[in-house]
Amino acid sequence: MAEQTTTLEGAHTAERPGGWRGVTADWASDQRAFKKVPWGKAMMWIFLLSDTFIFSCFLISYMTVRMSTVEPWPNASEVFALSLGGEPIPLILIAIMTFVLISSSGTMAMAVNFGYRRNRKMTFWLIMATALLGATFVGMQAFEWSKLIHEGVRPWGNPWGAEQFGSIFFMITGFHGTHVTIGVIFLLIIARKVWRGDLDSGRRGYFTGGKGNYEAVEIMGLYWHFVDLVWVFIFAFFYLW
């Protein structure tokens, strides 16, 4: 029996075309391009790689504009300060936002860990905690936007100096905030599936893998950690520079 299997495998290998025809044959026959890596995880890594290029272009454009403009660039410590007790505190809101988002990365990591332990209850509550922290971040970002708009910041200008500041601020933080918002929505979807036991029972539906398969939680974790990492770069380049 073993010899027959070996013979069949050898015949199959011999019949497989080489070069690009072989690649096409593999994809057409639903072969995994990345051996021992699930399709969902591979596609998420490809998406995150493409998103990295986009955010990199935004940050490089920001640095180029800031270094080339002849107008004075607004001081982030003054622009993003909040008055508490009559005294302005520089970057206090941004610091809290950063702490909240980094904390959500920790709860997401624990959710993945408990997911692979098949602890459905803890996985659910940790995903919900991550979603709550993400929603809190988006809410504080909305407050930041409304405050600056009230103070006169627009995509075409601002009252503190270089006109490019407004457009770059809304573009970078808005694009990142959209990612966080989408992430919160998908976290709620995954949390609902965990709570219903879809990942244990193998119930069919969107983002539901096989029985006992918690890869959906891990894939969601990859996206969330990426969003958190991008914010670290935005915080360093846009708010601290």
Domains identified in the chain and CATH numbers: 19-239 (1.20.120.80)
**CA 181 – CA 200 distance, rounded (Å):** 27
Q: Helices marked H in the chain — which ranges?
A: 2-15, 19-28, 39-68, 76-79, 92-116, 120-150, 164-196, 198-201, 215-234
pLDDT above 70 as % of the chain: 82
The strand pairing partners of 88, in sequence order, are: 83
Residue type, 223: Y
- pLDDT, tens digit, for every residue of 168-225? 999 999 999 999 999 999 999 999 999 988 887 766 666 555 555 788 899 999 999 9
pLDDT on residue 208: 56
The strand pairing partners of 83, in sequence order, are: 88
Which residues 6+ apart lie within 8 Å of 176 measured at CB?
A: 55, 227, 230, 231, 234
Which residues 6+ apart lie within 8 Å of 179 measured at CB?
A: 51, 227, 230
Instruction: Output Rg (C-alpha) for the chain, integer angstroms.
Output: 24
Name the phi and psi angles at 43, rounded to 5. Answer: -65, -35
The predicted model gives 128-135 an average pLDDT of 98
Least confident of 34-38, 149-153, 209-213: 209-213
The pTM score is: 0.83
Least confident of 70-79, 154-163, 164-173, 210-219: 210-219
CA 179 to chain centre: 6
